[in-house]
Amino acid sequence: MLDTGFLMLCMVIFAALIFDYINGFHDTANAIATCISTRALSVKSAILMAAGLNFVGAMISTKVATTIGKGIVDASNVTQTVVLAGVIGAIVWNLITWYYGLPSSSSHAIIGGIAGAVIAHAGVAALKLAGLKKIVMSLIFSPILGTAVGFIFMIILYRIFRNSSPSILNKYFRRLQVASAALMAFSHGTADAQKSMGVITMALVSYGTIKTFEVPWEVMVACATAMALGTAAGGWRIIKTVGRDFVKLQPVHGFCVETASAGVILGASAFGMPTSTTHVITSTILGVGLSKRLNAVNWNVAKRILIAWVLTIPASGLMAYLTYQVMNPLLGK
């Protein structure tokens, strides 16, 4: 006889890995858009480097996964249908924003998706408001910090190298940018692959495969691999928006963006705070652009990005809510 509970668990794991894959190509721009736009690396080399270091970064820690899996909702209100609907809601929103070339947050999408599905299942009272507050505050303040750090770091570099020849400066920083892009790719792995780790582990606890919330090594490897493969697939629409349309960058700007962003993301990951790599690097690019002059920023693109940011949590939550309403009568698990 078919074990429908086990079938649901397999569907959740599959959907979570698809989300991780989409997250990889959706967020590829976070790590490599700037080094491609400044020609520090070829497209192929940048993608291969990002894929490899995404994998390594994803294997380092599970603190963010624990925050996602335990900090959003009460475990007693989590069913396989809830998790599956939440992941599907996040996937749909990621695909919509990818199609339109908007660098929205996969972190916001999965949080909104899980929250929307839980509300559909058990109501608003099932949410852990303290945990959600911590997550949302982190996701709000990380772009502010990214903008400030990018602006200040760029001003410092301007002061240090103000008498240098632009051609020599670009040559020097084009080499340094390879290292900063590598650091950014690594930090992306430490932050983003862990969202799916948290979701899958949540599903394993719900099914009874594991008794306590501890991410199994097999889950870590699977999510890291899915993220790396997605990164290798590339995300050309978003790379164009972030690396070319938003702010025109030279190698020194790219180095500043990647180094500052990686610092913010790694610091947050060390404390288990699920920052959005998309928000951090995009806001850091904004800070670098503002250090040049106000009109260095394409404000029309900035407006589109901001709208996507604001809509992500409610939109993915609504999609997950509706998905649950459709799935629950059919699956009921």
Confidence tier at 13 by pLDDT (50, 70, 90): very high
Grouping H, G, I as helix, E, B as strand and the rest as coil, residue 128 is: coil
Q: 44 vs 286, which has greater pLDDT? A: 286
Place 234 in a pLDDT band, splitting at 50, 70 and 90.
low
| pLDDT recorded at residue 88 | 94
Mean pLDDT confidence for 304-323: 88
Query: Phi then psi for 62, rounded to 5 degrees?
Result: -125, 15
State how far the Cα of 124 lies from the Cα of 136, in Å rounded to an integer. Answer: 16
pLDDT at 151 over 80: yes
Confidence of residue 2 (pLDDT cuts 50, 70, 90): low
DSSP 59-122: TT--HHHHHHHHHSB-GGG--HHHHHHHHHHHHHHHHHHHHTT----HHHHHHHHHHHHHHHHH
CA angle 235, 237, 241 (to 5 degrees): 115
End-to-end Cα spacing for the chain: 17
- In this predicted structure, what is the pLDDT of residue 85? 92
Average pLDDT of the chain, as a whole number: 81
The residue-averaged pLDDT of 11-36 equals 79
Predicted confidence (pLDDT) per residue in 253-266, tens digit? 888 888 888 888 88
pLDDT at residue 286 greater than cutoff 80: yes
| pLDDT of 17 | 92
Q: How far apart are CA 300 and CA 101, in angstroms?
A: 14
Question: pLDDT digits over 32-76, tens only?
Answer: 777 777 777 777 787 788 788 888 887 876 676 666 666 677 767
Name the residue ranges covered by the structural domains of the chain: 4-327
pLDDT band at 246 (very low <50, low <70, confident <90, very high): low
